[in-house]
Structure 1
Amino acid sequence: MSRLISLTVVFGVLGLGLFVVSSSRAYQPERIDTPPTAKGVVYHDENENQKFDSGEKTLSGIRVSNGQDIVLTDANGRYEIPIDDDTTIFVIKPRNWRTPVNEHQLPRFYYTHKPGGSPMSKFAGVAPTGPLPKSVDFPLYPQEEPDNFKAVMFGDPQPRNQKEVDYITHDVVEELIGTDASFGVTLGDIVFDDLDVMDGINKSIAMIGIPWYNVVGNHDVNRDAKEHKFSDETFERIYGPSTYSFDYGPVHFIVLDNVEWIVPQAEGRKPTYRGGLGEEQLKFIETDLSQIPEEQMVVLMMHIPIIGVHDRHGLYRLIEKRPLCISISGHTHTHEHVWITDADGWEGPKPHHHIINVTVSGSWWGGAPDERGIPHTTMADGAPNGYSILNFDGNDYRLDYFAAGRGSDYQMEIEAPEVVPHGESNKMFVYANIFNADQYATVTMAIDGGDPVEIARVREVDPNYKKTVEAEAKILEKNKSAWRKLPKPRASTHLWKGAIPDNLSLGVHRVTITAKGRNGQVFEGHRILRVE
């Protein structure tokens, strides 16, 4: 409250007298603006009603974030954290605790404070949330989380409509029902621009029956957004924050939003996107990792491959000294193991393993339909559509590849000539596309059970995929609406090539390809060729 006082100030002596200033004025105490804060408690919700009831145990030392800052709950399970009028507050799930999930198995670990709601958009964002509650509380429930567990990884399901949601349901969801995986993750491009389709795919994936986390992709954004910060309003409404983290077992997972929405200032230019993280997100990652022991495994999950992010070197500086850190993405509709070295500005003591995950939609649901009416949708590197499972055993990990509808033994496709002219076989080759192999794999070829000979990894187009594209193109020339055209072939990172021996006798011969991965995985495939 202001009050009126009289001030007499003596400035000094001028000549023979005093120079005196007297005044009366209204006095206002100095105002110090402090940001508003959210307060609440993290607790063991014993009766599972998602309300903090008298007598329920509070949990101390649990991390809570506003997307940049991270605070710990005190001895009474309470926290306080700064917010503004567009803040999502979330609990960072600790080991051996789970958060609630909704009817679609989507984890509910956050509270969105957006009093004015989202800006108007073609697809609905967050409705006005009204005044901040006096207490924003987070319930947790105890669960066993062993060192050994599995996580399902979906890259780019990307359905345009309910018909393509049905493809996903029959191609991958049905075979995953009953999985022993602990949770699943969609690595962005949950849908293909029509954000209303999110409801349908959420219902489908929920049938798997495990908690399902989501990463925002470039086809999941509000494309009419006028600023980057408003590009994920629909994602926020359905899935929560686009950047967050959680623990499961001994592993720390960080979900990143690396789709930077760009609205050009020049008139007539369309909005676009690029791979980017931004300073605020890098601050969250830095704060988060500063509280994670160096010996703990960290997995970064994103949509655009890390090598396609313009400010990736800022991220490199945060992770390159950690001995246990990998990353995984989608986006390219290929499957690749990338080892990042000093050639890309990496300064760590050993290369960083980045996985570009196989996509559920393969080639955007392209290609001729199979007997179920589902497009074969082979990817441009010759690998089949499907999903992967990350297996963890303490700090060890292994990625397993699952081709949709094919069974776990289908790990390679072998291409060889049907007929080899006698005496001219050394001019012909066997190609082995080993879908999940990387540069550290050893691949051998043996003829009729003879001694295996190591064959070379090549960066070429898969010849089998090339033949498929050419054959389907001829059909589409006559009937353009028969199915969606496949993309042009791309050089594969998991293709091996071996020359057919020139001393093969007349008759049929068995070619055996054996691949040994760096994790000890061994896969074998066979092909019969005929010498005439």
Structure 2
Amino acid sequence: MRKKLYALLLLSLTANFLYAQQLINGRIHCENKGIAEVVVTDGRNVTKTNSKGYYKLFVDGAQSYVYYSLPKHYESPLKNGIPVFYKEIVPHVDRYDFEIKKSVREQHKHTFVVWADPQIIDPEEFQLLEKVIDDIKGTQDIYNTSFHGISCGDIVFDRLNFFDNYKNSIGRFDFPFYQVLGNHDMDYSNETHESSRRSYQKAFGPDYYSFNIGNIHYIVLNDVFYYGYAYHYMGYIDGQQLEWLKKDLAQVAKGTTVMIALHIPTMYTDADTRPNMEKRQKNSLINNKAFYECLKGYNVHILAGHSHTQWNTVINDSITEHTHAAASAAWWQGEVGLDGTPKGYTVYEVDGNDIKWYFKGVGIDKDEQLKIYPVGTDAEHPTAFVANVFNYDPLWKVEWYENDVLKGDMEQYWGVDPLAKSLYAPGKNKKYSWLSYDHTNHLFKAVPADEHSQIKVVVTDRFGQKYTRTISEKKNNENNK
């Protein structure tokens, strides 16, 4: 009797496994020549193509897509600027082939831009987005390299019906523009985290994936976890995605430089000590330790958005996080974000394994990396002049001169940018009553001997590039030369 029950149980488990798993196959090729060692996945299971470009993969019944990790020196087809590296899994279809093409440009040196939070809510805001796109196209023109872009989420502001309009806008780019899911890109009317991604996936494909360009391995993750009711979410990478991340990185040699794009930053700035747990859950990755554990042995840069502020966090010797100011600044309500950083994006220059980066404001020169305010502008520091160094990190140096005499380093402090404070005082904005400035740690101050002295600020970034601004008069002088 026991043997019969055991046999029935085993048969049941086997039947469930067979029902849940489907064996698919296919080929990845370029001009009908198979490409070996290409990683293929359904978001849970991972395999590689053989020497002739063929693969076999057991796909989970709950998974929606089969897709590949683009190998270096190749490009995926583009549709409206979006790389099409995936196919929807269809019942009773077991063959999925992919054709890719050789990269037009050599990839050892390449350039990419990152923007975050365009967050479109009204149709007329697409006209404002066009100005950002024009600026990026101008930046692209100065580089004779392979070029791509990454959007770190909040593509729209809960208007999921605008996804097609957004794709039409970025279709002006002649380079691949990879997308990340943000908390305002989700179906909040659906019941589960899994179903909250449907509209995004229909428009852009899988919400986590990887690709390779030159020596760099790129990974896109979804770290917005929907509770299942009324716009409640937290920064969290679920177990299935973490397991997939481990499998994906297992195909990548230790020591490789890895760029990981997601929406919610994995860590607050050190100076941000907000006690509200709900805010902390919504603004940082609550399981970041498990995430960082997966990244050991790699040189990692994390690319995030969400905050509408710009900051850089050195998490440890091998992980640096870049949180990007919004392409929309403050939801298209002004030209600067909540921390005073101009509307803009960040440019990353890659040379082999080496990466350099700089912030680029829309409509302003790339050398405009700081803004200085004369003595008396900031009421909280009435005897000091103030500098906002947008893309500051701990390896930068901020020095000041009074009447051409070096006085030393400026004092870093945690505070509010004077312009952002004047623009975004709580309750001032007519469209968004909740809109308010935010604090930042990339502010610096110094007190001159004479408030009418000529002041010069020289900022040196981590790559040795110097940026200079001067002021020669008291409050209300806008000549930040």
- TM class, shorter-length: 0.7 to 0.9
Q: Is the 8 A contact 1:427 1:499 kept in 2?
A: no
1:303 and 2:263 matched: yes
Matched, 1:514 2:458: yes
Match of 2:309 in 1: 334
CA distance in 1, matches of 2:231, 2:107: 45
The answer for unaligned runs of 5 or more in structure 2 is: 1-7, 268-283, 476-481
Query: Partner of 1:98 in structure 2?
Result: 75
Structure 1 Cα separation of the partners of residues 56 and 418 of structure 2: 60
2:119 alignment counterpart: 158
The answer to whether the Cα contact below 8 Å between 1:86 and 1:114 also exists between their aligned partners in 2 is no
The answer (yes or no) to whether the contact 1:260–1:277 under 8 Å persists in 2 is yes
Q: Does the 8 Å contact 2:374/2:474 carry over to 1?
A: no
Q: Is the 8 A contact 1:515 1:524 kept in 2?
A: yes
Q: Is the 8 A contact 1:469 1:486 kept in 2?
A: no
Q: Please name the residue that 2:436 is paired with.
A: 488
* 2:324 matches 1:354: no
**How far apart are residue 512 of structure 1 and its match?**
0.8
RMSD, aligned CA? 2.4
C-alpha separation between the residues in 1 aligned to 2:419 and 2:137?
A: 32
Per-residue Cα deviation, 1:306-335 (whole angstroms, up to 9, x for no partner):
12112221111111332x111110001100
Identity %: 25
Offset of residue 96 of structure 1: 0.3
Alpha-carbon separation, structure 1, partners of 2:164 and 2:200? 11
Question: What corresponds to 1:430 in structure 2?
Answer: 385
- The answer to whether 1:182 aligns with 2:147 is yes
TM-score (norm 2): 0.85
1:410-432: CA deviation from partner (whole Å, max 9, x where unpaired): 2111111379xxxxxx9711100
- 1:228 partnered with 2:155: no
Task: Name 1:379's counterpart in structure 2.
Answer: 337
8 Å contact kept, 2:426–2:436: no
Q: Which has the larger radius of gyration?
A: 1
Q: Distance in 1 between matches of 2:156 and 2:232?
A: 17
Can you list the C-alpha shifts for 1:477-514, whole angstroms capped at 9, x where unaligned? xxx4xx65683232212111111114x7xxx5421100
* d(CA) in 2 for partners of 1:443, 1:30: 70
- Contact in 2 for aligned 1:328/1:354 (Cα 8 Å): yes
Aligned residues of 1:187 and 1:302 also touching (Cα < 8 A)? yes
Alignment coverage as a number of residue pairs: 436
Letter in 1 for 2:398: V
Change (3 A) 1:380 1:234: same
Aligned with residue 197 of structure 1, among 148, 153, 162: 162
CA shift at 1:466, angstroms?
A: 2.1
State the distance in 2 between where 1:490 and 1:358 align.
Answer: 12
- Secondary structure of the 2:129 match is helix
**Match for 2:397 among 442, 448, 452?**
442
Q: Say if 2:427 and 2:436, in contact at 8 Å, map to a contact too.
A: no
Structure 1 position 361, deviation (Å): 0.9
If the length of structure 1 is used for normalisation, what is the TM-score? 0.78
8 A Cα contact 2:116 2:325, kept in partner = yes
SS of the equivalent of 1:42 reads strand
Question: Aligned partners of 1:488 and 1:274: how far apart in 2?
Answer: 21
The aligned residue for residue 273 of structure 2 is: none
Counterpart among 203, 208, 213 of residue 178 in structure 2: 213
Is the 2:384–2:445 contact (alpha carbons within 8 Å) kept by the matching residues of 1?
A: yes
- 1:464 Cα deviation after fit: 3.3
- Which residue of 2 is the match for residue 526 of structure 1? 470
Unaligned 5+ segments in structure 1 are 1-26, 47-55, 116-130, 265-269, 342-349, 368-375, 420-425
C-alpha distance in structure 2 between counterparts of 1:523 and 1:186, whole Å: 27
Distance 1:85 1:287, change over 3 A: closer
Q: Secondary structure at the match of 1:459?
A: strand
Query: 1:463 matched to which residue of 2?
Result: 418
Contact 1:418 1:529 survives alignment (8 Å):
no
Deviation at 1:145, TM superposition (A): 3.4
Describe the SS at the equivalent of 1:162: coil
Q: Report how far residue 57 of structure 1 moved.
A: 1.3
- Please show how residues 312-323 of structure 1 align to structure 2 within 5 Å: 312-322=288-298
* Other structure's SS at 2:100 match: strand
Indicate the SS of the match to 2:82. Answer: coil
Over 3 Å counting, the alpha-carbon distance change for 1:311 and 1:448 in structure 2 is same
Shift of residue 114 of structure 1?
5.0
Per-residue deviation, 1:191: 0.5
Q: Cα 1:194–1:471, aligned 2, differ >3 Å: closer, same or farther?
A: closer
Residue 281 of structure 1 aligns to a residue whose secondary structure is: helix
Separation of aligned partners in 1, 2:96 and 2:351: 35
What is the aligned partner in structure 2 of residue 250 from structure 1? 215
Match of 2:237? 277
